[in-house]
Amino acid sequence: MQEFAFELALCAHLERPDRVVGRQLGAAVHGRRVADVVCVEPGPEFDRRAAITPETIPPLAIESRVGPGTARSVTAAFDCHPDRARAVAERAVELGFFERERSGSSTAVRQTVRYPDWFDSLVGIENKPDLDRPGDLRDQLRIDVSLGVFDEVVLATETYVTGAHLNRLPAEVGVWRFDPETGEREVVREAEPLATDEPGIELLDREPGRTDVRPATVAEKRRQRRRIAERAYGKGWRTYDLPDCARCVPDAAEPADHADAGLPWCEWKAKLVRPVADCGPACPAYEPVDEAERDDAEADEDEAKETEAEAIRARRSAWEPDPAGVARRQSGLGRFLE
């Protein structure tokens, strides 16, 4: 619970109109590393990406041999099972990234727009509120530093950071001390830039007397960086549903600058809660929301086809919930080949 509340408070603190923040994102090339928080700094082509879709474009669609020129057969354009290829292509069509054409008895697709180079940098943040219970922290940060998928790696903690703590961490890792109750953040140590444009080494497993590693090429790292950024754009960090309890009042969240962030704040407990684990009839303060009142309150929102979380995210970050789209016009095909 402590880490969950800490993580949400940090995400709310980092979110701003010129940035995209994601949470719990796969950050490994070959292994199973998951980054707690990722900050994506937009690049010069960000508006072109935002115009396509507010959701995550399937990585296989981006990495396929489908381009904005001549339409290609679905099964020939993907390096995966034909059923998987068709499913990914169909999803890309739904999102407006592909358009479908008939080619004889088979289906062909083409991109509606060339996928842009839309992000500038990625900052990976590992949350460890209590440094006295480090767990696998050292190995996790060594993976991030030696792999070099992120431009910078930071450790965020609530603990007072000593010299002994710093000495146990890779020198490249920045350190923040963050207080989730006040929203104050102190930079204890600046992060050093990592070599994202060079090959990396990924730690896969460690046992007494043995360490398994695997190299990652520049192309593999570039692909994973794009996947992380794309997933962060589509997923964001509000991956929870607010409880249907009258005592959950996001607008009362503390500190004051988090009150408009849509956090699961319980007035009775006066703290952030984990909705699935902490809320429901088993809680002595549980007060279910009247269904009729809730339906009336949400009617206008439903008509606008925008959930409360989407409205909050659109207001507080660079994410665009309702893009104009990039439907291709045959007569103007050349402008998509620039």
CA dist list (Å): 228 to 132, 245, 309, 326? 30, 34, 21, 23
Instruction: For residue range 251-275, list pLDDT tens digits in order.
Output: 989 998 889 999 999 999 999 999 8
pLDDT band at 158 (very low <50, low <70, confident <90, very high): very high
Q: Are 310 and 235 in contact (CB under 8 A)?
A: no
Asked if residue 332 has pLDDT above 50, the reply is no
CA torsion, points 157, 230, 34, 85, in degrees to nearest 10? 170
pLDDT band at 228 (very low <50, low <70, confident <90, very high): very high
Q: Say which residue the tokens 């940060």 belong to.
A: 141
Domain positions in the chain: 2-46+117-235, 58-111, 250-316
User: Can you give the pLDDT at residue 281?
Assistant: 87
Alpha helices in 114-217 (DSSP H): 137-147, 163-167
Q: What is the pTM of this model?
A: 0.90
